[in-house]
Structure 1
Amino acid sequence: MTSNAISNDLHAQVAGSSFYTGMRVLPRRERHAMYAIYAFCRAVDDIADDQRGARDERTAALDAWRRGIDALYAGGDSGPAAYLADAVRDFRLAREDFHAVIDGMQMDVDADICWPTAAVLDLYCDRVASAVGRLSVRVFGMDEAPGKALSFHLGRALQLTNILRDIDEDAAIGRVYLPREELVAAGIALDSPAGVAARPGIDRVARVLARDAHGHFTKAQAILAGRPRGHLIAPRLMAAAYSQLLARMEAIGWGMPRRRVRVSKLALLWTMLRLSLRR
């Protein structure tokens, strides 16, 4: 496949997502690198969420990605990871961050995650979200210290917000990412994903997680307010849009029946315009 064909294919995968709004303003080389990272994340996430595939088959598919990533860094036949080559070379992306993302997906494949401890939830957030941030900040051109700090806090803030948005969707496929300690403190019996998700006490648990997410948003926005070096309109956009999404969910609450709150593409465009004018 030619590089132009790969670029067009990656563009098609990204174009329908809210992610696209923030990435399209990047310079061409950075934009294509982010499209490649996004496509990688989509590919391994689809493996983890394949409810029809057997667990051993999904593990084998993730192992193929691990081998592809290793081969890419060794200069061999990287198979499915070949389209990442330019991004890895141009931005010195770290192999361990790709492996961390795959390890996070493996957690979902090994067993459907239900009421993890707070420590396991934090590890999961680091792998599936903050590791993606660590790849991204290299593309954005951030210095190492503020880049890692932003990845830590913004990754966790975004992932916790997603968890709070997707409680019912996750329960429908046998997963509950809300922390065990808070569920037990709220007196919720840990019997089944659907049962846990339907308990009235979920609102109390969700608000504790929302408080944690707000704390991470606050720290991420403080880093961005310091105007560190880099192309940072994309993380500014995601922080602004998802903190607003979290606030809207808090206003509605997590009592039954729940209504899924979405990120408005129009709101994303308006936020991007506002942030562009403030640069």
Structure 2
Amino acid sequence: MIDRTIYNIFRRGSRTYFYSTLFFPPAVREDVFSLYSFVRTADDYVDAVPQEIEEFYAFADRYAAAEAGEATGDVVVESFVDLAGRKGFDPAWTTAFLRSMESDIIVGSYRTIRDLEGYLYGSSEVIGLMMARILDLPPESYAAAQNLGRAMQYVNFIRDIAEDLALGRTYFPLEEMEAFGLDDLSAAAASRDPGGFAAFLRFQLRRYREWQEAAEAGFGHIPRRYRIPIRTASDMYRWTARTIERDPAVVHRRKVKPSVIRIVSGAATNTLKA
């Protein structure tokens, strides 16, 4: 039985992941809920306005205490630690994740794609690795799992440009922005040079597609009963990317997200294809 707190964190935090996850078998579904509630809680602290810095570090301390076997009274942390133990997560993955979340407190931009890669590893690739462990996938699947996490995160960066700018963050290499003649990615900058802004976002979407295709090349490692929700989430991110590619300026008008009907109908289609 999924704890109500964990359920509510997941449902509130992500439409695509939540509704896709419902198509996993119950035991797997509970594990995914535990994983997502942990990462979402940490993310919410650093994305709050103003940032809840003390709360974030207290959360990280509760994780360390629970990992050491202490009772914390935090159902989100203790559920995650139980999951990590049962599924054999490498503790370094969680350390990398928390380090990337801390970066959102102290780092506002990245000069090169190499600089960004460390953040991407901790904020998304390790989540893919944790999912691979939840699903008991072979090590041969891990590179694809990392690519899928990274690809989805990158679409989120593109979709959430306006939201991230309001938080004082730019998740795209500054040297690439300069190459496209952009000082920043604000609505004003996009209005001044709509062609340059559109070309820049389409360049970033090509990077996403490379990672996405590398991820999908590894879908054969995923058992059929697990492939439906993963492919559904993957398809929804492809839809988001296509929507933005057609009209890059949309990122400054609204948050591009698939509807619940689109997600559920996509899962139904993938069920028939499986």
Q: TM-score range by the shorter chain?
A: 0.7 to 0.9
Q: Name 2:85's counterpart in structure 1.
A: 89
Quick one: which of 57, 65, 74 aligns to 1:63? 57
| Deviation digits for residues 215-240 of structure 1 (CA, Å, limit 9, x no counterpart) | 1111111111x244472322211111
| Deviation digits for residues 154-200 of structure 1 (CA, Å, limit 9, x no counterpart) | 1111111111111112222222212112111012235x966656552
Unaligned runs of 5+ in 2: none
Q: CA RMSD in A?
A: 2.4
Partner amino acid, structure 2, of 1:251: R
Q: What is the CA-CA distance between 1:214 and the residue it aligns to?
A: 0.6
Structure 2: distance between partners of 1:198 and 1:189: 13
1:18-37 matched pairs, under 5 angstroms: 18-37=16-35
The alignment partner of 1:15 has SS state of helix
Alpha carbons 1:206, 1:254 under 8 Å: kept: no
Structure 2: distance between partners of 1:152 and 1:269: 25
Aligned residues: 267
Moved more, 170-179 or 64-73: 64-73
Alpha carbons 2:244, 2:250 under 8 Å: kept: no
Structure 2: distance between partners of 1:166 and 1:257: 9
Q: Name 2:44's counterpart in structure 1.
A: 46
Q: Name 1:216's counterpart in structure 2.
A: 211
Structure 1: distance between partners of 2:136 and 2:101: 27
TM-score, structure 1 as length reference: 0.86
Quick one: which of 124, 148, 154 aligns to 1:154? 148
Q: What is the CA-CA distance between 1:29 and the residue it aligns to?
A: 2.0
Higher relative contact order at CA 8 Å, sep ≥6: structure 1 or structure 2? 2
Q: Name 1:187's counterpart in structure 2.
A: 181
Quick one: which of 195, 203, 227 aligns to 2:198? 203
Alpha carbons 2:22, 2:29 under 8 Å: kept: yes
Structure 1: distance between partners of 2:111 and 2:144: 25
Alpha carbons 2:165, 2:186 under 8 Å: kept: yes
Alpha carbons 1:157, 1:217 under 8 Å: kept: yes
Question: CA 1:193–1:78 in 2, change beyond 3 Å: closer, same or farther?
Answer: farther
Q: Name 1:248's counterpart in structure 2.
A: 243
Alpha carbons 1:186, 1:205 under 8 Å: kept: yes
Structure 1: distance between partners of 2:33 and 2:252: 36
Structure 2: distance between partners of 1:214 and 1:103: 26
Question: CA 1:233–1:82 in 2, change beyond 3 Å: closer, same or farther?
Answer: same
Unaligned runs of 5+ in 1: none
Question: CA 1:257–1:272 in 2, change beyond 3 Å: closer, same or farther?
Answer: closer
Q: Name 1:265's counterpart in structure 2.
A: 260
Q: What is the CA-CA distance between 1:274 and the residue it aligns to?
A: 1.1
Q: Name 1:178's counterpart in structure 2.
A: 172
Q: Name 1:72's counterpart in structure 2.
A: 66
| Deviation digits for residues 15-73 of structure 1 (CA, Å, limit 9, x no counterpart) | 343211111122222111111111111110111112224xxx61x43333333333333
1:79-118 matched pairs, under 5 angstroms: 79-80=73-74, 81-111=77-107, 113-118=108-113
Structure 1: distance between partners of 2:145 and 2:189: 31
Alpha carbons 2:46, 2:102 under 8 Å: kept: yes
Moved more, 179-188 or 229-238: 229-238
Structure 1 position 237 matched with structure 2 position 232: yes
Structure 2: distance between partners of 1:101 and 1:119: 17
- Report sequence identity in percent: 24
Q: What is the CA-CA distance between 1:139 and the residue it aligns to?
A: 0.9
Runs of 4+ off more than 4 Å: 192-199, 255-259
